[in-house]
Amino acid sequence: MLKVKVNDIDIEVEEGLTVLQACEIAGAEIPRFCYHEKLSIAGNCRMCLVEIEKSRKPVASCAMPVTEGMNIKTNTKLVEKARKGVMEFLLANHPLDCPVCDQGGECDLQDQSMFYGIDKSRFKENKRFVPEKYMGPLIKTQMTRCIHCTRCVRFATEVAGVPEIGAIGRGEDMQITTYLEKAMESELSANVIDLCPVGALTSKPYVFEARPWELKKTETIDVMDAVGSNIRVDTYGWEVKRILPKINEDINEEWISDKTRYACDGLKYQRLDVPYVKKENNFNKISWTEALKILKNKINSTNPEKIAGLTGDLTNMETLFACKELFQKVLKSKDLESREKNIYINLNSRKNYLFNSEIKGIEKSDLILLIGTNPRYEATMLNARIRKSFLKNNTEIYSLGDLGDLTYPYKVLSNSTEEVKKIIENNSDISKKIKNAKYPLIIFGESALTLNSSKYMFEGFKKFLNENNKINAEWNSLNIIHSNASTVGSFDLDIVSKTNDTLEKIYNNFFELIFLIGRDNFSFTKKNEFIVYIGSHGDKGAEMADLILPGAAFTEQDGYFTNLEGKLQMAFKASYPPGEAKEDWVIINEIFKLVHNDILFKDKNELVSAMHNYLSFSKKNELSNLFKEEYTSEKIFTLPIDYYHSNVIARSSKTMNECRNIRTKLKKTGTEG
Amino acid sequence: MSLKKVSKEQPDKFEFSDENLDLAKKVVSNYPTGKKKSAVMALLYLAQKQNNNWIPLAAMKYIAKYLEISYINVYEVATFYSMYNLAPVGKYFIQICTTTPCMIRGAYKLVDVCKKNISEKENELSGNKICSWTEVECLGACISAPMAQINDDYYEDLNTKQFESIVKDILKDKKPKAGSYRGRVSSEPEKNRQTLLETKNA
């Protein structure tokens, strides 16, 4: 510990901190533009100047390490004068077009010029003009406003792992640009908008939409993937205007993926606002009473054995639990399924289907083995952590099969089950490496769990890791990446078919009445089934439905989600469902009432407490016994994910469509020279 | 000086010649293992030499792949330094020094000669695409001002007439004699002078 003085306050700080961090600990706020906790230090904006005793000139505090006995002053005349000087230089070429700038109201330069700015300009020369740069469909540029902090350059190189942004030219002619003005090929690209301290990089889909002070802010969580990134939803009336990251060091740090940020315009389009019924291949609007009447007749006339339900990828846990109760108590059907594919899952213990090492645990890992998963598209934020771990520990990363660019180097092993067999039978170099590693990470993807030998691989690995003490109280190295937000919640609530054949029976047209509760990633050849779709968007599920009951999206209802690490988080209501649409659990409750003449849950609180009660029970589920533990030699293909089109909200979003078109076009023409 | 513009006409391919490949290997071996990206400037210079005094984008990509760094890293370096040309400059590239000593001794008269004979604007190829000219900062030959650099050679102690004949030779693809045009050897004083005492207004 080092003893230093900040503004005559004695503090003790750890070795290796910078003066700026020491000042922060002492409670003295330092203005800054280029410094950012999560990025490397550049020290080029000079806004963080402080006075240090025995130093003749003011010192850039962000780049100066603390030493013993430093006497730092941040509130002297000299410091203020120095900062004013820096600010004057920064503003010399800044256009001062705040009234037409989207950053207005949340701009670092604007805020800090309130303290250090001068009301008049002494700069009589012509201001510099920089042409706009194309950076893809998400980032709007106005490079005349740029103050060359290089945060975006550092973010792209360090965090995103796509070194495509750079500073070209020099002196007054320095410009920030992507290589030859191509779109940034990263799923984290839009984070540079948050990083930009001025209005040089702003959000293209959100351009001139609203001012920050007009928006209602709701802190909630994201459902675009199973990571459960913490976000802030900004709404103006009903409309979700934008989504920003909320800091959560354990999950998403302070970044979010482009899909999380920009799929929100999908909440405006293709919405179901009234119930529909299909007559002669046309959808006709009907009222709720009529719709429920049709449904009641259908339920009463159908044998319970012939009723099935499929829950969706964005369904919250309250709805899932209500569905479970509905199927158990009223419909008396056992065929309620949440899995999209017949993946192997062992529900005997939560540890069998979670990302046990936790996302923050990735950072200390020293060996990572990917089995049938592409984390870049399945869990973008998790992939950013793997990259961070690679940069920090130089982690060795192996993958079964070539996955293309993952933003970090990895070694490719053969993508066959034989490779796994070799590892768990101790016949491979990798087995030795796993044994020697202190914190190894074995990551299974859903693609690997769909194979015939999935049980053999998963249970075999579990045994192998247990034998070598890699699964213990401190560290559990067995992990699964799920790709949907509701998957872990569904498993926690045991929403899997007990006989493991619901999906097969649906494909064989066994059922007469099928409920699709927000299930859209699903298709089969329909015969005589009557399909009821409960959900928010008119997409694949609604298309094949005979009766549509309009539900709410994740921003329009309070609901729990469990992320892939098993963290229970709540998504809060930021907006309300459109038209006559209702919250999902209310619809389920009404169906219950319809058949049973009694309500299932008095109110939401009763539902939530019943659900928590259910979750706290330790359960035993024999599902895994239905899978054969057999070894077959087969290839492990990581099934490609249509990243920008993976769920209903993203599919309805214009921005996501644009991103997808650009990405596919890039692939066709080829970016390599 | 403004930001250098990248030429619109770009060759599709660039590869080091065998000779330059050997040189490149030698340059890279000067740096410790894992630090070979430090060789970027030397390699850009080699590429410029090989490709008629300018660096096409294909060469930048080639160097980026050769050194295993990203394209933008090479592009940043190439745009930063003024001695890398990113557009064709012709077989003869004339650089006229216009910093103070040369300016006082009449550098702008040389510029006028270029404007008249080669092209109206800087960095523009002559009619027969054989040469171009540009103004540069001090080339370190103030003792023999005014002067111009043509490719690797210095042409010193020039006057308008001499420079005009040099330019005309060049336009005919003839390489004129380099060095002082007042018959001096290196930067020796004229007429074996030891001091300036006998010269009035020196």
Structure tokens at B147: 């002067």
Q: What are the CA-CA distances from residue A395 to residues A244, A362, A462 (Å)?
A: 30, 10, 22
Q: How far apart are CA A185 and CA B172, in angstroms?
A: 49
Q: What are the CA-CA distances from residue A99 to residues A95, A198, B2 (Å)?
A: 11, 13, 30
Q: Are B2 and A173 in contact (CB < 8 Å)?
A: yes
- What confidence category does residue A670 fall into, taking pLDDT thresholds of 50, 70 and 90? very low
Q: Are A673 and B57 in contact (CB < 8 Å)?
A: yes
- Are residues A567 and A230 in contact, defined by beta-carbon separation less than 8 angstroms? no
Residue of B1, B3, B75 for testing the chain A interface, max A β-carbons within 10 Å: B3
Minimal-distance CA residue of chain A relative to B79: A169
ipTM: 0.85
Of the candidates B57, B70, B79, the beta carbon closest to that of A169 is on B79
Q: Are B70 and A170 in contact (CB < 8 Å)?
A: no
Q: How far apart are CA A639 and CA A302, in angstroms?
A: 37
Q: How far apart are CA A539 and CA B118, in angstroms?
A: 66
Q: Which pLDDT score, from 0 to 100, does residue A216 have?
A: 94
- Are residues A134 and A183 in contact, defined by beta-carbon separation less than 8 angstroms? yes
Phi and psi angles of residue A556, each rounded to the nearest 5 degrees, phi first = -110, 5
* A104 residue type, one letter: G
What's the predicted TM-score (pTM) here?
A: 0.90
Phi and psi angles of residue A569, each rounded to the nearest 5 degrees, phi first = -130, 155
Structure tokens at A324: 């479970």
Q: Are B80 and A180 in contact (CB < 8 Å)?
A: no
Is the CB of residue A144 less than 8 Å away from at least one CB of chain B?
A: no
Chain A residues within an 8 Å CB radius of B69:
163
Of the candidates A164, A166, A169, the beta carbon closest to that of B3 is on A169
Q: How far apart are CA A349 and CA A364, in angstroms?
A: 25
pLDDT digits (tens, 9 = 90+) for A2-15: 999 999 999 999 99
Nearest to A338 by CA among A547, A228, A503: A503
Q: Which pLDDT score, from 0 to 100, does residue B199 have?
A: 75
Calculate mean pLDDT across residues B27-43: 93
Q: Are A166 and B73 in contact (CB < 8 Å)?
A: yes
pLDDT digits (tens, 9 = 90+) for A71-93: 999 999 999 999 999 999 999 99
pLDDT beyond 90 at B1: no
Q: Which pLDDT score, from 0 to 100, does residue A27 have?
A: 92
Is the CB of residue B108 less than 8 Å away from at least one CB of chain A?
A: no
pLDDT beyond 80 at B3: no
DSSP 8-class letter at A103: T
pLDDT digits (tens, 9 = 90+) for B179-195: 999 888 877 887 777 88
Structure tokens at A161: 């792992």
Instruction: Characterize A298-336 residue by residue with b for buried, 16 or more Cβ atoms within 10 angstroms of its Cβ, and e for exposed.
Output: bbeebeeebbbbbbbbbbbbbbbbbbbbbbeebbebebb
Please report where in the chains the tokens 């606002």 appear, as a residue.
A273
Residue A207 to chain B, least CA–CA distance (Å): 28
Calculate mean pLDDT across residues A632-642: 85
- What confidence category does residue A433 fall into, taking pLDDT thresholds of 50, 70 and 90? very high
Chain B residues within an 8 Å CB radius of A163:
69-70, 72-73
Put simply, the chain B residues between 6 and 65 with a CB less than 8 A from any chain A CB are 57-58, 61
Q: Are B75 and A165 in contact (CB < 8 Å)?
A: no
Chain B residues within an 8 Å CB radius of A169:
3-4, 79-80
For chains A and B, CB pairs below 8 A equal 38
Q: Which pLDDT score, from 0 to 100, does residue A667 have?
A: 59
Q: How far apart are CA B132 and CA B126, in angstroms?
A: 6
Of the candidates B58, B70, B79, the beta carbon closest to that of A164 is on B70
Query: Residues of chain B with pLDDT > 90: what percent?
Result: 70
- Are residues B63 and B44 in contact, defined by beta-carbon separation less than 8 angstroms? yes
Structure tokens at A483: 């790709």
- What confidence category does residue B202 fall into, taking pLDDT thresholds of 50, 70 and 90? low
Put simply, the chain A residues between 178 and 237 with a CB less than 8 A from any chain B CB are 178-180
